[in-house]
Structure 1
């Protein structure tokens, strides 16, 4: 196949490119060249996906079997790309998010769940919001139609080259050793998918000419908070000791869910189904997810190769991770 990847140099886009090249596909990447290096073997085209002139230069004299879009956050960006790429590509695969569903994370979601009412023609440069992914989906469907569109509603991605930093933050904290606050119920189940498995599944679907929507994440119950954090301890040498602190104590200390202790969600109604997305359709279509310990080990190996990070990981504009003094206070309370 001849594949165009919009982006292609960081995390999920990088995983798509690596897997496509491994399978022998021809790959073109289109990006500004700012977030990472293109991999050997691709045709790299520089440009801004929000620029009609740059996109017109990209498509001039080129045609692809499929487009893979891992980077769009704004409906206007998808609408522009889809409109200009439609005469030059047979199919368009868009990586959406589980955030696009209205009911998530309070109630379980699946392919038929309602999405946020965000229109396809939403003006550009909107503030970050979950609803925007739903608008992106509608913009794609307007230009490529249902049969030529493949929408993958992504769950929580982990793995090497993660650029948000949820798993890297935990690994770097465990590597420091000592007593570490482990949040909430240790047996709370989670759904974490390695970016490499996500990319392999997405390419499987494109190779089969599949369209439609797939909720793409690990199956419910595939791991627990205890298994995940224990894997982090083991991968980093076993110098950390997990100290479990319950939801009530964390909320009383005003610990921000999801951010200060990445991926912790309290057992409250608004978070009740955060890890209960229905993945039956994707699994029936061949989605396979590697063991969580493998993803953790490989991510730690990448971090060690990359070297120390000098800037904080960010959830949007908010730094990830709990302040050391706040963690010490929680540990003292747990010991008393």
Structure 2
């Protein structure tokens, strides 16, 4: 495969994917509406087609202009998006859909492709935009990929858990980076053993390329950090990257309720462990970046760009009120 079309390609995962493909000798074209700054605008190695991926005629135009060998679909959020893409790009060597670990319905540990049940998706959910239906919509997209493969389309799916790394506009991890960087003590929901697997953005990009090159049509592949860490260990990694240390105040739901907080008010907290089995993609040649290295790059980028994640969790004033109460107990 020589030519790649990246649907998206300017913000986070797509941005890292374009860099990954360039590093491996692909001719790359991005396809997007131009609503965000294009980091490749001055890079003559990257072409761009402007259009709306929800418009069939725009996708058809991109196909005609690029004639790609591989298509990477970074911004398919509704089943109908995947359905259109798998029809229009039915003749490519690889169509790779970015699904999500949220597509899994059961709380298996770990979650395995082809074994752990997927979310069901109602007709109403399929056209919804709310976070509550995100996993269901991604699961529906997976099923469309599988059906397309049954028709002979070289379509595959990649399921990452929470993605972190440079250029992460969600700022979920940035919340914790800012807390560790700016304060001596932080409030931690629960006892710190909450396990929600994550994946470094550059590794998602690598996984997408490897699946396109080596994957089997009709298959889904989990892509995640090989070593999943607890919330507590994540704070250690952040502190090490910053060259500091941080005290933690572990809090129960009852203690959090003193200031009208709940555990899931904090980013990257989850009641049930979320762990994806990555054996299948590793067999294709995927390797994840060592955690300390991935965190160092992420922390450096977040601090350089002033990301604080302040909208993702409790404000510091509320935390300090709770810490004051706990200190008197």
Same fold by TM-score greater than 0.5 = yes
What residue in structure 1 maps to residue 17 of structure 2? 16
Counterpart-to-counterpart distance in 2, 1:61 and 1:8: 17
Matches within 5 A, 1:125-274: 125-128=128-131, 129=133, 130-145=135-150, 148-211=154-217, 212-219=219-226, 222-238=228-244, 240-250=246-256, 253-258=259-264, 260-266=265-271, 271=272, 274=273
Contact 2:145 2:156 in 1 (8 A): no
Counterpart in 1 of 2:324? 332
CA distance in 1, matches of 2:103, 2:63: 29
Deviations 1:125-168 (A, max 9, x none): 55441211111122333445476111111112111111211111
**Mean Cα displacement is larger for which, 240-249 or 152-161?**
240-249
Question: Does structure 2 retain, via aligned residues, the 8 Å contact 1:99–1:133?
Answer: yes
- Residue number in structure 1 paired with 2:314: 322
Change in CA separation of 1:157 and 1:205 when aligned onto 2, cut-off 3 Å: same
The correspondence of residues 298-313 of structure 1 with structure 2, limited to 5 A, is 298-307=297-306
CA distance in 1, matches of 2:267, 2:122: 31
Query: C-alpha separation between the residues in 2 aligned to 1:210 and 1:304?
Result: 40
TM-score for both structures, normalised by structure 2: 0.86
- 5 Å matches for 1:52-131? 52-87=56-91, 89-104=92-107, 108-112=110-114, 113-118=116-121, 124-128=127-131, 129=133, 130-131=135-136
Alpha-carbon distance between aligned partners in 2 of 1:247 and 1:286, rounded to the nearest angstrom: 42
TM (norm. structure 1) is: 0.85
The root-mean-square deviation of aligned C-alpha atoms, in Å, is: 2.6
* TM-aligned CA deviation for residue 248 of structure 1: 4.7
Aligned length, in residue pairs: 319
Partner of 1:316: none
8 Å CA contact retained: 2:105, 2:117: yes
**Partner SS for 1:10:** coil
Shift of 1:182: 2.3
- How far 1:308 moved relative to its partner? 5.2
Is the contact made by 1:153 and 1:214 (CA closer than 8 Å) also made in structure 2? yes
Report the CA distance shift for 1:109/1:19 in structure 2 as closer, same or farther (over 3 A): same
Counterpart-to-counterpart distance in 2, 1:169 and 1:57:
41
More strand by share: 1
* Residues 285/201 of structure 1: CA separation in 2 closer, same or farther (3 Å cut): same
Residues 196 and 269 in structure 2, CA contact (< 8 A), matched pair in contact too: no
**Matched residue, 2:7:** 6
Distance change in 2, residues 1:95/1:278 (3 Å): same
* Structure 1 position 280, deviation (Å): 2.5
